[in-house]
Amino acid sequence: MLLRVSGAALRRGPRLPTFLNPRLSSLRVFSSEEKPKGTPYSALTVGVPKESFPLEKRVAATPESVERLVKPGFSVLIEEGAGEESFFSNSAYEAAGAKIVKGDQLWKESDIVLKLRPPTEAEVTSLGDRTLISFLWPKQNEGLVKQLQEQKATAFAMDCIPRTLSRGQTYDALSSQANISGYRAVVEASNQFGRFFAGQMTAAGKVPPAKVLVIGTGVAGLAAIQTAKNMGAVVRAFDVRPVTKEQVEAMGAQFLGVDFQEDGSGAGGYAKEMSKEWHAAARAMLTKQCEDVDIIITTALIPGRPAPTMVTKEMVAKMKSGSVTVDLGE
C-alpha cells in the first residue's frame, strides 16, 4: 500500500512532512506493487514532552493535532501533564488516541519529538540521533546546534521556515505566535491602564479615548493595531518599512513617518538595521509622540540580532503619569 497526498501543488517538488500540515488531511490509499521509500507511519512514534522553560504554558500538540497524527498511523506519546497549563487534560489526549507516559519513557521511545522551546543540553542528550522538530533559533543557540550535529540528530527549526507565499506558508509558526503576542500585548496594557480604551460621553462628562502607539507593523504589530482599534482606542503606528503604511491605514490607524528618506525593508519581509541619521530623525519624532500617547507597544525585531532600541529612558520620562509601555522585543 502506498500513501499519496492529493493536490497538484505538492507534486511540483519535495514534500514537507505531511503530519505537520493541518491542511493536508486528504490522504488517499491505492494499491501498488512498488514499496514506498522510508519508514511507514505505523512504525514511527511521535513524542510531545512537557515544556521545561520557566512560566511556559504552551504545548507542542493539542488533542486535535494528536488525532491528525494518529489517523495516518503514527503512535503518539504525551508526557504526563504536558497540556495542563494549556487546559488539555491527560484524558483528552488519551481520547484522541495518545498514550500518557513519564518523561524518561517519552525521550527513550520517541522517533520524532515535537517541542516548542529549544531543548536543554540534557534533553538533547536524551534525544540521541533521532528527530527533533522545535523552535531552535540556530544563530542564538550555536552550542545547541553543534550538540545536535555531534549526535547526528535530525532537527527541523520551525523558526527558519521561509515566511513566503508558498507551500511553507502553512508551516509559519512564527506568524501564528506573533499574532497571539500582539493581541496579548494590548490585553496586558489595558489591564494596567487606568481608564477606558474607548471614549465615552456620560452625564458626568466626556472621557477621551486612549491613544496607542504601536512601533513595528509586522504580524505582531498589526495584531496589536487591530485589537486596540476594536477596543476603541486611537491608534498610531510606526515602522521603518514604508510599504507597511497601506496596511496600517487600511486597519484604521495613522501611520507616522520620519523626516528622512531611507527604506528599512529587508529580506523575507523583515526590517533591516537603519543608519545613525535615520535613527536621529526617528528619535525626534518618537519623543514628541511619547509626550502625547498613553500606551506604547514595541514589536520591532531583527532576526538573529538584538532588537533595536526605539524608545529610550528619556522618551519614557516624557510620558504622562499612568502611561503604559509593553515591550515585545525583549
Query: Is there a catalytic annotation at residue 270?
Result: yes
Give the 3-state secondary structure of residue 186: helix
Residues belonging to the chain: 330
Candidates 140, 151, 184, 270; catalytic one: 270
Query: Is there a catalytic annotation at residue 169?
Result: yes
Candidates 172, 177, 184, 265; catalytic one: 172
Candidates 163, 167, 236, 241; catalytic one: 163
113: β partners: 47, 132
Query: Is there a catalytic annotation at residue 183?
Result: no
Query: Is there a catalytic annotation at residue 163?
Result: yes
Among candidate residues 55, 68, 67, the one with its CA nearest the CA of residue 27: 68
DSSP characters over 195-264: S-SS-EEETTEEEPPPEEEEE--SHHHHHHHHHHHHTT-EEEEE-S-GGGHHHHHHTTPEEEP-SS----
Candidates 151, 175, 177, 265; catalytic one: 175
Query: Is there a catalytic annotation at residue 159?
Result: no
The β-bridge relationship of strands 45-48 and 75-79 is parallel
CB 144 within 8 A of CB 85: no
Going 152 to 54 to 188 to 264, the CA torsion angle's sign is negative
Sheet with 112-114, strands from edge to edge, namely: 99-101, 75-79, 45-48, 112-114, 131-134, 154-157
Cell of 294: 498613553
CB 241 within 8 A of CB 271: yes
Classify residue 220 as left (phi > 0), alpha (psi -120 to 50) or beta: alpha
CB 53 within 8 A of CB 34: no
Give the 3-state secondary structure of residue 268: helix
Q: Which residues are catalytic?
A: 163, 169, 172, 175, 270
